[in-house]
Amino acid sequence: AQSVTQLDSHVSVSEGTPVLLRCNYSSSYSPSLFWYVQHPNKGLQLLLKYTSAATLVKGINGFEAEFKKSETSFHLTKPSAHMSDAAEYFCVVKGYQKVTFGTGTKLQVIP
């Protein structure tokens, strides 16, 4: 069985403050984990991926995520939010021949 839970449907932060988007997963296999971003009326874009090489993964636009096996978590963070970060973010788990998307977290950045 495989599932992914994004714990917050909406997150609101002020510009320049840290961002934390939470993701928990379950998988019967050693999964790969991904974060994608979707801006309005745009396609999904890969932010970063975990493939077991390193538990702290750095992605594009200053985002990073830490894989914590003991907590089955893969939370996405950024030290300082920018207005252009406002979008929807999806956590994805990929196990043996199966891909599962979370329900998404909408990030609002307040000027």
Cβ-based nearer residue to another protein, 31 or 74: 31
* Least Cβ distance, residue 15 to another protein (angstroms): 24
Cβ-based nearer residue to another protein, 83 or 99: 99
* Least Cβ distance, residue 72 to another protein (angstroms): 17
**Contact (Cβ atoms closer than 8 angstroms) between residue 100 and residue 2:** yes
Cβ-based nearer residue to another protein, 22 or 49: 49
Short-list 82, 110, 106, CA closest to 6: 106
Applying CB under 8 A, the residues found at the interface with another protein are: 29-32, 34, 36, 41-46, 49, 51, 90, 94-99, 101-104
**Contact (Cβ atoms closer than 8 angstroms) between residue 14 and residue 78:** no
* Least Cβ distance, residue 37 to another protein (angstroms): 11
**Contact (Cβ atoms closer than 8 angstroms) between residue 110 and residue 13:** yes
Quick one: tokens of 65?
């995520």
Cβ-based nearer residue to another protein, 41 or 111: 41
**How much is the CA Rg of the chain, to the nearest whole Å?**
13
